[in-house]
Structure 1
Amino acid sequence: MTERRPTIVDVAREAGVSKSTVSLVLRNSPLVRSETRAQVRAAMAEIGYVYNRAAANLRSANAGLIGLVINDLRNPFFTEFATSLQMALSARGYAAVMANTDEDARLQAQVVGAMIEHGVSAFIISPAYGEESATFGAIERAAIPAMQVLRGVEPRRELFPFAAPDYVAGSRLATEHLVRAGARRVAFVGGLEGRDVTRERMSGYRSVLSEAGMEPLVLTGRASRAFGREAARRLAHEHRGVDAALCFNDLVALGMLSGCAEIDRDVGREFKIVGFDDIEDCAQTWPSLSSVHCDIAGFGARIAATVVDWLEEGTAPPADLRTPVELIVRDSSRDRG
């Protein structure tokens, strides 16, 4: 019986690395550390592995795959980002392999592992919270470039760069607008306590109120319509002096519009609301919703270009990239009279 020829899987097992790392070494990728490269080469020599370049060329279709891992595709903000990113990658000759983790860190680690095994060239991740090492440790061992987007959980930004709209500037713009519009007490509504994205979206709010000599009021909670609807009732019954709200995102703000309608509170005249993200629904609801516009479609296209340049030109992204935002004022925060 003819002895079986060693495969790339055998090399990976012998070297103690992933199959995709061995593949990067065989393609002479600059993304692999020199000590890892030497370790893989030694394993190849030890087990007698011979690289079949012709066969590798037949598998080269996977070289154009980008792993796109999103924490919540049910949220229109993330859906618009993923769609614009996928279209921009297609225009550059790359395909996106997409997964929704539904805020489940274990599922995230699972899909990232599967994408590594299928030979993705890079990752773009809007990560779930918790068990970060299971996801990012696997990517690091595979030596695959990866960007965190929209929210950052892995602090080693030099290894896993982070990009997001300028949340701090956005919350400042929104709060300044509400104060200029005559609000006497402004609440911040939504977002889970202790998370960086909540702190950033609250940061400008706190700064502006401090400068204006106004006391903050924060109602943290799930970034959902249901929480916003409940918060509208709570503010009306428990905090009667509050006459404006900056919401963590548009879903919370849209929920507040519904809650105010239920209790017959006049949004715009009696109570002012500003959302965050400026999803499509903001302009279509009644009253139309003021929101911090993050140009999420443009952001997706920019991230696609950044990652492709990283792969093709070796141009690493900055460790922390923030993109401009603007406030779109609509009926929910101005007196319609």
Structure 2
Amino acid sequence: MSRRPTIVDVAREAGVSKSTVSNVLQGSVAVRPQTRALVDKAMEALGYVYNRAAANLRGADVGLVGLVINDLRNPFFTEFAASAQMTFAERGYATVIANTDEDAGMQAQVIASMIEHGVSGFLISPAYVEETEGLEAVRRAGLPAMQVLRRIDPRTEAFPFASLDYGTGGRLATEHLLGLGLRRVAFVGGLENRPVTEERMAGYRVAMAAAGLPTVALHGRPTRAFGRETALELRAARPDIEGAVCFSDLVALGMLAGLAQAGVRVGAEFRLVGFDDIEECALTWPQLSSVRCDVARFGREAAEAMLAWLEEGLRPPAVRLAPVELIVRASSAGLPA
């Protein structure tokens, strides 16, 4: 069975009525032992799992949605999760949120647990796993599931993918720096060969190639620590690099700290652009230029697409990329006189 078995399937397998199965699940003493044994055997054969808490939620007319996030420590993903959760709540849906911390094993565990607890569907910003493995349990359960922000399963007809137009964002950021007269621009951050890194780098490569300039890529975990270390290493080994497009704002904020430690004035001696435009970009000094993804709006739209799928049967498009824009601030445009 390719979908999640239901009480009707159990009744059919056992050769009894749906109400009889319901009585067995409720522990009714009116059911004969022989009939109870038939129902138990059918449930075991079909892999049917009854969860009383989920049944109570359904009885109270409350839907349950699983929200699986790869890194809730990152403000970008936190904002997405908060926006999606609030959208579901406005429509009367409860949300189960899990942070997988980029751990494929943890991801499999929380997905299985959410299925057992009776979620109606999933929004999954996934940790990276082998193709078709990460969502296999969801496929077997027959539940609606959207991949958001990252794509780990190529079967987007089954698991629609919604993300942001990272390629355009990388191109806008790079063209901006080149338009300021820079010629030696690096791309900093992101794990090498990961799809999201390639997507964010694609526009950088296009812009550099159009200008006839070589690319310089410095890969690593998208953290402040990596950004700081890379800034210090760049000043020591590649002082000719004039600016950087960063994989994420966290990397860029780390670079701000490292460049300050090295005595480099960002916005004057070095130009810097982040990616995501988290709140801190406008609060740091110098204020950080960044590719705005409007992840709060994206979270709302992703949740609304899932709700339309659950309530109206309207499956989202196989692939959807939301627009982005470049927000120019002092870190690239220049410090005030």
TM class by smaller structure: 0.7 to 0.9
Amino acid at match of 1:166: D
Q: 1:52 aligns with which of 22, 34, 41?
A: 22
Amino acid at match of 1:116: I
2-structure distance, mates of 1:319, 1:48: 36
- 1:62: how far off? 7.8
> CA, structure 1 residues 136+204, in 2 after alignment: closer, same or farther (shift >3 Å)?
same
1-structure distance, mates of 2:184, 2:201: 15
Secondary structure of the residue aligned to 1:52 is helix
Residue by residue, what CA displacement relative to the aligned partner does 1:40-83 show, whole Å, maximum 9, x if unpaired? 66424289983439979755148500000000000000001000
> CA, structure 1 residues 334+58, in 2 after alignment: closer, same or farther (shift >3 Å)?
closer
Maintained 8 Å contact 1:245/1:273: yes
1:43 aligns with 2:13: yes
- 1:175: how far off? 0.6
1-structure distance, mates of 2:290, 2:62: 39
Amino acid at match of 1:91: E
Partner in structure 2 of residue 201 of structure 1: 200
Partner in structure 2 of residue 32 of structure 1: none
- 1:275: how far off? 0.3
2-structure distance, mates of 1:206, 1:288: 25
Maintained 8 Å contact 1:70/1:125: yes
Partner in structure 1 of residue 32 of structure 2: none
Moved over 4 A (4+): 46-49, 53-59, 131-134
Partner in structure 2 of residue 106 of structure 1: 105
Partner in structure 1 of residue 155 of structure 2: 156
Partner in structure 2 of residue 22 of structure 1: 5
| TM-score (structure 1 length as normaliser) | 0.86
Partner in structure 1 of residue 235 of structure 2: 236
Partner in structure 2 of residue 3 of structure 1: none
Q: Structure 1: 5+ residue runs without aligned partners?
A: 1-15, 27-36
1-structure distance, mates of 2:141, 2:74: 30
Secondary structure of the residue aligned to 2:301 is helix
Secondary structure of the residue aligned to 1:276 is strand
2-structure distance, mates of 1:97, 1:86: 9
Residue by residue, what CA displacement relative to the aligned partner does 1:113-134 show, whole Å, maximum 9, x if unpaired? 0000000000000000125545
1-structure distance, mates of 2:117, 2:21: 19
1:73 aligns with 2:72: yes
Secondary structure of the residue aligned to 1:267 is coil
Number of positions where the alignment pairs a residue of Structure 1 with one of Structure 2: 307
Partner in structure 2 of residue 327 of structure 1: 326
Maintained 8 Å contact 1:63/1:120: no
1:173 aligns with 2:150: no
Amino acid at match of 1:68: L
1-structure distance, mates of 2:205, 2:262: 28
1:190 aligns with 2:173: no
Maintained 8 Å contact 1:151/1:164: yes
Maintained 8 Å contact 2:11/2:17: no
| TM-score (structure 2 length as normaliser) | 0.86
2-structure distance, mates of 1:234, 1:148: 36
Amino acid at match of 1:225: R
